[in-house]
A and B are shown apart, each in its own frame.
Chain A
Amino acid sequence: MTMRAAVLVWVALLAMLGASLLALQLETGPLRYTLHLGAAAVMAALVMTVFMRLKAADGMMRLFALGGLFWLSFLFLLTLLELLSRTPQAGG
Chain B
Amino acid sequence: MSASAEPAHYLTGGWSLRGWLLTLDHKRIAWLYAISITGFFFLGGIAALLIRLELLTPAGDLLSSEAYNRLFSLHGIVMVWFFLIPSIPATLGNFLLPMMVGARDMAFPRLNLLSWYIYTLGGLFTMVAVIAGGVDTGWTFYTPYSTLFANSAVLAAATGVFVVGFSSILTGINFIVTTHTMRVPGQTWLRLPLFVWANYATALIMVLATPVLSITLLLIALERTLGIGIFDPALGGDPLLFQHLFWFYSHPAVYIMILPAMGVISEIIACFSRNPVFGYTGMVLSIMAIALFGFLVWGHHMFVSGQSLYAGILFSLFSFLVAVPSAIKTLNWTATMFRGRIVYTAPMIYALSFLGLFVIGGLTGVFLASLAVDVHLHDTYFVTAHFHYIMVGGAVTAYLGGLHFWWPKLTGRLYPALWSKVAALALFIGFNLTFYPQFLLGYGGMPRRYHEYPEAFELLHVMSTLGTGVLAIGYLMPLVYLAWSLRYGERAPANPWHAKGLEWLAPSPPPVDNFVTTPTVTEAPYAYR
Chain A residues packing against B (C-beta within 8 Å): 60, 67-68, 71, 74-75, 78-79, 81-87
Task: For B208, give its contact among A60, A71, A79, A87 (CB under 8 Å).
Answer: A71
- Nearest CB of A to B512, in Å: 30
Chain A residues with Cβ below 8 Å from B212 are 75
- Nearest CB of A to B496, in Å: 38
Complex: A82 Cα to B306 Cα, angstroms: 10
Chain A residues with Cβ below 8 Å from B315 are 78
Chain B residues with Cβ below 8 Å from A68 are 208
Q: Which residue of A lies closest to B207 (CB)?
A: A68
Chain B residues with Cβ below 8 Å from A60 are 180
Task: For B244, give its contact among A67, A71, A79 (CB under 8 Å).
Answer: A79
Complex: A79 Cα to B307 Cα, angstroms: 10
Q: Identify the 7 closest CB pairs spanning chains A and B, nearest first.
A: A82-B311, A86-B308, A85-B308, A85-B310, A71-B208, A82-B308, A79-B244
Chain B residues with Cβ below 8 Å from A85 are 308-311
Chain A residues with Cβ below 8 Å from B245 are 75
B295 lies within 8 A of chain A by Cβ: yes
CB pair B208–A78 under 8 Å, yes or no, is: no
Task: For B295, give its contact among A74, A81, A82, A83 (CB under 8 Å).
Answer: A74
Task: For A86, give its contact among B208, B295, B298, B307 (CB under 8 Å).
Answer: B307
Q: Which residue of B lies closest to A81 (CB)?
A: B311
**Interface size counted on chain B using CB atoms at 8 A:** 20
Given known pairs A60-B180, A68-B208, A71-B208, the reply for A78 and B310 (CB within 8 Å) is no
Given known pairs A75-B212, A75-B248, the reply for A82 and B307 (CB within 8 Å) is yes
Complex: A1 Cα to B212 Cα, angstroms: 34
Chain B residues with Cβ below 8 Å from A79 are 241, 244, 248
- Nearest CB of A to B212, in Å: 7
B296 lies within 8 A of chain A by Cβ: yes
Q: Which of B245, B296, B298, B308 counts the most chain A CB atoms within 10 A?
A: B308
Chain B residues packing against A (C-beta within 8 Å): 180, 208, 212, 240-241, 244-245, 248, 295-296, 298-299, 306-311, 314-315
Given known pairs A60-B180, A68-B208, the reply for A78 and B296 (CB within 8 Å) is yes
Q: Can you show 17 pairs from A to B with CB atoms below 8 A apart?
A: A60-B180, A74-B295, A75-B212, A75-B245, A75-B248, A78-B296, A79-B244, A79-B248, A81-B310, A82-B244, A82-B299, A82-B307, A83-B308, A85-B309, A85-B310, A85-B311, A86-B308
Task: For A81, give its contact among B241, B309, B314 (CB under 8 Å).
Answer: B314
Q: Which residue of B lies closest to A88 (CB)?
A: B308
Complex: A83 Cα to B180 Cα, angstroms: 38
Could you list 16 further interchain pairs (A-B, Cβ under 8 angstroms) beyond the known A78-B315, A83-B308? Answer: A60-B180, A75-B212, A75-B248, A78-B299, A78-B314, A79-B241, A79-B244, A79-B248, A81-B314, A84-B308, A85-B308, A85-B309, A85-B311, A86-B306, A86-B311, A87-B308
Complex: A68 Cα to B212 Cα, angstroms: 12
Chain A residues with Cβ below 8 Å from B180 are 60
Chain A residues with Cβ below 8 Å from B306 are 86
- Nearest CB of B to A74, in Å: 5
Chain A residues with Cβ below 8 Å from B298 are 78
Q: Which residue of B lies closest to A82 (CB)?
A: B311
- Nearest CB of B to A28, in Å: 21
- Nearest CB of B to A87, in Å: 8
Chain B residues with Cβ below 8 Å from A82 are 240, 244, 299, 307-308, 311
- Nearest CB of A to B252, in Å: 10
Q: Which of A74, A82, A87 counts the most chain B CB atoms within 10 A?
A: A82
Q: Which residue of A lies closest to B244 (CB)?
A: A79
Given known pairs A68-B208, A82-B308, the reply for A74 and B314 (CB within 8 Å) is no
Complex: A68 Cα to B314 Cα, angstroms: 23
Q: Which of A71, A85, A86 counts the most chain B CB atoms within 10 A?
A: A71
Chain A residues with Cβ below 8 Å from B309 are 85
Complex: A81 Cα to B309 Cα, angstroms: 11
Chain A residues with Cβ below 8 Å from B241 are 79
Chain A residues with Cβ below 8 Å from B310 are 81, 85
Chain B residues with Cβ below 8 Å from A71 are 208, 295
Q: Which residue of A lies closest to B312 (CB)?
A: A82
Complex: A14 Cα to B146 Cα, angstroms: 44
Chain A residues with Cβ below 8 Å from B296 are 74, 78
Q: Which residue of B lies closest to A79 (CB)?
A: B244
Q: Which residue of A lies closest to B291 (CB)?
A: A71
Chain B residues with Cβ below 8 Å from A84 are 308
Chain A residues with Cβ below 8 Å from B240 are 82
Chain B residues with Cβ below 8 Å from A74 are 248, 295-296
- Nearest CB of A to B205, in Å: 9
Q: Which residue of B lies closest to A64 (CB)?
A: B176
Complex: A87 Cα to B244 Cα, angstroms: 17
Complex: A41 Cα to B248 Cα, angstroms: 24
Q: Which of A74, A78, A83 counts the most chain B CB atoms within 10 A?
A: A78
Q: Which residue of B lies closest to A68 (CB)?
A: B208
- Nearest CB of B to A79, in Å: 5
Complex: A87 Cα to B240 Cα, angstroms: 14
- Nearest CB of B to A30, in Å: 22
- Nearest CB of A to B243, in Å: 10
Q: Which residue of B lies closest to A67 (CB)?
A: B208
- Nearest CB of B to A58, in Å: 11
Complex: A79 Cα to B240 Cα, angstroms: 10
